[in-house]
Each structure stands twice: as C-alpha cells, then as structure tokens.
Copies of this chain bind each other. A is one copy, B any other.
Amino acid sequence: MTDPAAPRDGLPPGVALAWGLQATARRGPKPTLSLDQIVNAAIELADAGGLAALSMSKLADALGFTTMSLYRYVTSKDDLLALMIDVACGEPPAPLLDPAPSWREAIDRWARAILLVYRQHLWALHVPISGPPIMPHQLAWLDALLRGMADTGLSAQDQLSTALLVDGYVRSWALLSDGLLQAATRPSDADAPPSALLGALITADRYPALAPMIAAGEFDDDEDDLEDIFDFALARIIDGVDSLVQHQPAARSPRPRSPRRR
C-alpha cells in the first residue's frame, strides 16, 4: 500500500494512472524513470515481438534499469498491460470526429480506422477483457462511434449494441486475418502440403458443403481476398443496422429493456 499508484478510492490501480490522477509525490529523490517511458518502451517491445516478447526483465533491460525498479511505477504486469492498451489505442484520428455524410459512412470509417490500430498492436487483443471499458482512450473511440450513429434514430441501448457488434467483429477479424497471413507467409514448411493432404481428408460425405468449396480452391486466400472478406462483412453489418433503421423510423422502442431488478 506504499506504492505511488494508489491514489483514489476503489479504482483499479492502473485505471487511476491512465486518467492522470495520482497524488504527485514530493519527498525523496526525483524519479529518473517515468511511467510514460515505461509504457512506451513496453508497447514498442510488444509491437515488435508480441506479448511473448514482453517480460519485465526484457523491458527493464531495454530501459537500462533493473527488473524490480519498474515495480515502483506499476503495481503488476497486468497493470502495465492495461496502461499499454490505453496508450496504444490513442485518440481517434481527427477525421473520425468530423460529421460524416451518413451514419453508414461513419461506421465504415470507424471500423477501418480501428482495424488499423488493432493491426498495429495485435497483442492488445490477446489481453483478456476484465470488465467494461473504463480507460480514457477506449471510451474516446466508443464515443466517436456513437457520435457517428447519432442520426440513426436508434435507442441508446441499440446504439451501444451496434457499437459492440462492430468493434467485436473488427477485433476477431484482426486476430483471424493476422493468423491467416502469418500462416501464408511462413517458410512453406506447412503450406502447400496441407492444402493437398487436407483435400483428401475433407471428404464430401463428411463435409458435404465444405468439400466442394475446398476443391474449387475457395480457401486459397491471398491478401486481396482477405480485404474483400472484411469489406463484405462490414457491409453486411451496416446493412443489418440499416434495415432496422428503415423499418423503425423514429422514437422506436421495439426491444424494451428487461425490467430493472433490485
């Protein structure tokens, strides 16, 4: 309880730091390190080599300090990860905050913008979610998306649900597409062989719908195909929202919230 990162009531340790509310210390030697340095160096390491490449000792080495000195700034590695995610998200780019020609366009732009972020910091998606988003930058992104949906006429709940849908798909897509690309650009030790061998295993009687597609080569995706898949899915999501918007013009409440208990 003597760490400098215990500033306010109830808040989880890292969260308070991210909002910049630490009771600035006075006594003692000036810190030669700073939280910013640490977090940025950690992001650099994780960007380069994934979460596996980020250990407290490697991070300390990169900064020229010993492992344990980091714990003066961060209460645990999980804490550090939370801060890293928030910094890595960054502020939503300015064009996203300008009013878009339509909410369809707004969602589309938002999804593509955050996909870039996720791709750049893929490790962030591997950090387990431990609660609702409460970090400033995450909320800023969410706010940007909600602003774009303002003129859909949807209820607040539906807007939130839509935001979760869009973000959720982008996240899983970022993970999947990276896995596919990485597999495709590997030394080929397990590239062509499976394609042939699997063709023999995926028989039409066990996989009646899949087998013909494999045989037709629909699985041999290159990078452009992957982009097509994302475009397709995003368009489907937006169409799905659109069909709701069209059919429920204004002041709708077709999905009443379950009555509040307690």
Binding site for B on A (CB under 8 A): 8-12, 15, 19, 126, 128-132, 134, 136, 139-140, 142-143, 146-147, 150, 156-162, 164-165, 167-169, 171-173, 175-176, 178-180, 182-183, 189-190, 192-194, 197-198, 201-202, 206-210, 212-213, 216, 218-219, 221-222, 224-225, 228-229, 232-233, 235-244, 255, 257-258, 261
Contacts and interface: CB of A to CB of B under 8 A. Distances in A.
Nearest to A207: B143
A164 to B, nearest CB: 6
A240 B192 CA distance: 35
A140 B179 contact: no
A159 B242 CA distance: 21
A146 B15 contact: no
A216 B155 CA distance: 12
Q: Is the interface of A mostly helix, strand, loop or mixed?
A: helix
Given A165-B236, A179-B131, A190 B11 contact: yes
Given A147-B208, A225-B258, 9 more contacts: A11-B193, A131-B179, A134-B194, A143-B208, A156-B212, A165-B232, A167-B172, A222-B258, A240-B240
B255 A244 contact: no
A240 B235 contact: yes
A147 B209 contact: yes
Contact of A168 (B19, B157, B176, B197): B176
Pairs A-B, 10 closest by C-beta atoms: A10-B193, A240-B240, A129-B179, A131-B183, A236-B240, A168-B172, A146-B209, A165-B233, A224-B258, A239-B240
A66 B107 CA distance: 53
Contacts of A162: 232-233, 236
A181 to B, nearest CB: 10
A161 B130 contact: no
A246 to B, nearest CB: 10
A225 B228 CA distance: 33
A130 B208 contact: no
A96 to B, nearest CB: 12
A40 to B, nearest CB: 23
Contact of A197 (B10, B193, B202): B10
